[in-house]
Structure 1
Amino acid sequence: MPQRLYNCETLVCLKLFQVTLADAEFVSLPSLKTMYLEYIEFPNEATFETLVLCSPVLECLKVVVASDNEKVFRVHSRSLKRLTFERVSPFLFESAGVVIDAPRLSFLTIKDNVSKSFLIHNFESNGILEMSLVGFVRLVEIDDEFFDDIYEEGVLLRRSNIHKFLHGISMAKSMKISRGTFKIMCHYSKLEPLPQFRNMSYLDITLCLHDFKWLPAFLESFPNLEYLALVMVCDDRKDDDVLREDVDQVSFSSVPECLLSSLEFVDLTAPVQYDVEMKLVKYLLKNSAVLEKLILRLASYNSRRDYMLKKLLKIPRASSKCKVVIL
């Protein structure tokens, strides 16, 4: 990349792909609002940090990093509103991590299974953060194909980093998390309580069928939740008999605060062969005092639909205005 691009007063949007950058001794990009940096070769960590720091009106930043890039990425910006960071590897190794200091940040997407830490600092008390956590940082050095005991070991190993990350995002208003992220947070909650996400109004979770037993306790950390989207997926490692046994053993003994006071909409996508969706729907209908609408999305249309409709009509509802829709 030509050096003169580091000092361009009129540049508003910069998108670079597979470019090798020279060391930035002096950077001044006073008009830059959008910057995409995908698979860039940085001579050192300071060059990336300087690019961001010296773009005083930067609002949107996307960084896609090669899987073998082990640099620390520090994002310090007083103006940044949207940040996407991706560093994904099919191999099992870790890099130093990511540090974000952007008090005006309102949208953050993370796809990272390499960084051993992901730290977020200095959110303003009235700041709003929308999170899309896909895969989570590899705080536990594992992927979804591993078993629960390895999750437990990994969460214990990275307990301090997970604590800092979760408390850093506790001001979030909406969040989308993958099944691996859900599993990590649930195992972490066995060690110490999750932070209270009191600003959270929208939550989108993908989870395995045999993990849905953790849902009520998990929702205790979202006392003002209004919209809950759930996507339940089968675990390919377990056969049908084992999954049915897991579902049969689930007993919900607690009712989180959000069901009693704030939850108005539920959107549930589920398979139809294990009865898990009926157990969860029954629990939600019986305990959600202000629920207005529950949507049940079945993975496929079959003869069980009519059977399920009849069962739904017999379930008592805590909210008299609740409507149930099956798609």
Structure 2
Amino acid sequence: MPQRLYNCETLVCLKLFQVTLSDAEIVSLPCLETMYLEYVEFPNEATFETLVLCSPVLECLKIIVASDDKKVFRLHSRSLERLSFERVSSLICDSAGVVIDCPRLYVLNIKDNVSKSVMIRNLGCNAILQMSLVGMVRLLEIDDDFCDEIYEEGVLLGRSNIHTFLHGISMARSIIMSRGTFKIMCQYSKLEPLPQFGNMCYLDVTLCLHDFQWLPAFLESFPNLKQLVLVMVCDDREGFPDEDIDQVSFSSVPECLLSSLEFVDFQATVQYDVEIKLVKYLVKTSAVLKKLSLRLASYSRRDKMLKKLLKTPRASTKCKVVIL
């Protein structure tokens, strides 16, 4: 790409795909609002940093990084509002990382299993996050279905990076997290308490039966949560015996269930008693719950489920249970 690309006074939207950029000497893109960079090769880290920094009205940025690109991507912008960053590979790299310093950012979609460190600074209190992060725990392979022992070891090694990241996103208003990210946070909570996500209103978590045991303690970090989405996925590879799954109990009651949680959307298989147990727990303890939607993967147990749930005492007189 020619040098003049870096100095276009009227450019509003820039979309590049599989191109190689030259080193930037002077960058001035005063009107650039939207930039998509997919598999773009930068000569060095400074060129990318300057490209973003010298786009003073940039609002939307989408980046897809090649799997073998091990750079640290630093994003410093006072105007950026929406950011999507993706870097996926089968290997974690110590030199790879992401630094995000964008105080006006309110939508962040990040999928990165390569970076050893993901640092977020000055995140706004209304930010919406969608994240899938496994790279920080230094696993041998990238897969959301590792046993707890491997996650525990990986989290121990990446403890400092995880601490920085979690505190960086603690002001967010909404989060959608993968199962791997949920497991990282739960294992990290064994080492030190999770930060309080006091602004969090909406939380969407993907988890499997084995993860149910973590849920009440996990929700303690979201005291003002209003809407909870639970997406249950089956995992036949963990070797968790059926009888052990059904022995999982829910005893503690987090603050959000007592004071703020109004809507629950649970996408379940209803093949195990623990799923029914979780639904009953939410209905019995959620004092201000308005609606619980249970989305069944199979209709075979619908009538049986409905009868059980209708007989379950409800902490909230306004609670409506819907089975779909």
Secondary structure at 2:135 match in 1: coil
| CA displacement at 1:95 relative to structure 2 | 3.8
Matched-pair contact (CA < 8 Å) for 1:113–1:141: no
Q: Distance in 2 between matches of 1:291 and 1:218?
A: 19
Q: Distance in 1 between matches of 2:248 and 2:270?
A: 17
After superposition, give the CA deviation of every residue in 1:189-217 in whole Å (9 maximum; x if it has no partner): 00000000000000000001111110000
| CA displacement at 1:243 relative to structure 2 | 4.2
Matched-pair contact (CA < 8 Å) for 1:75–1:102: yes
Change (3 A) 1:266 1:94: same
Aligned residue identity for 1:272: V
Who is 2:150 aligned against?
150
Who is 2:170 aligned against?
170
Who is 1:5 aligned against?
5
Matched-pair contact (CA < 8 Å) for 2:138–2:157: no
After the TM superposition, list the runs of 4 or more consecutive aligned residues in structure 1 that deviate by more than 3 angstroms. Answer: 91-95
Secondary structure at 2:104 match in 1: coil
Aligned residue identity for 1:256: P
| CA displacement at 1:92 relative to structure 2 | 4.8
Q: Distance in 2 between matches of 1:218 and 1:107?
A: 23
Moved more, 269-278 or 242-251: 242-251
Who is 1:141 aligned against?
138
TM-score (norm 1): 0.96
Alignment of 1:299 onto 2:318? no
After superposition, give the CA deviation of every residue in 1:2-55 in whole Å (9 maximum; x if it has no partner): 211110110000000000000000000000000011101100101000100100
Aligned runs of 1:47-196 on 2, under 5 Å? 47-123=47-123, 127-134=125-132, 136-142=133-139, 143-196=143-196
* Correspondence for 2:259 among 258, 261, 283: 261
Q: Distance in 1 between matches of 2:188 and 2:288?
A: 30
Secondary structure at 1:151 match in 2: helix
After superposition, give the CA deviation of every residue in 1:87-123 in whole Å (9 maximum; x if it has no partner): 0013454542011111111110100000000001123
Who is 1:324 aligned against?
321
Alignment of 1:220 onto 2:220? yes
Alignment of 1:313 onto 2:310? yes
Matched-pair contact (CA < 8 Å) for 2:92–2:135: no
Matched-pair contact (CA < 8 Å) for 1:132–1:176: yes
Q: Distance in 2 between matches of 1:227 and 1:247?
A: 26
Q: Distance in 1 between matches of 2:25 and 2:310?
A: 70
Calculate percent identity across the aligned residue pairs: 77
Secondary structure at 1:296 match in 2: strand
Who is 2:274 aligned against?
276
Secondary structure at 1:97 match in 2: strand
Aligned residue identity for 2:245: V
Q: Distance in 1 between matches of 2:294 and 2:162?
A: 33
Aligned residue identity for 1:286: K
Secondary structure at 1:295 match in 2: strand
After superposition, give the CA deviation of every residue in 1:30-89 in whole Å (9 maximum; x if it has no partner): 000000111011001010001001000000011110011011100000100011110001
Q: Distance in 2 between matches of 1:92 and 1:163?
A: 19
Matched-pair contact (CA < 8 Å) for 1:178–1:206: yes
| CA displacement at 1:277 relative to structure 2 | 2.0
| CA displacement at 1:248 relative to structure 2 | 2.0
Secondary structure at 2:183 match in 1: helix
| CA displacement at 1:129 relative to structure 2 | 1.2
Aligned residue identity for 1:29: L
Q: Distance in 2 between matches of 1:91 and 1:163?
A: 22
Matched-pair contact (CA < 8 Å) for 1:117–1:137: no
Matched-pair contact (CA < 8 Å) for 1:69–1:95: no
Aligned residue identity for 1:281: V
TM-score (norm 2): 0.97
Where structure 2 has 5 or more consecutive residues not aligned to the other structure, the ranges are: none
Matched-pair contact (CA < 8 Å) for 1:23–1:47: yes
Q: Distance in 2 between matches of 1:77 and 1:297?
A: 41
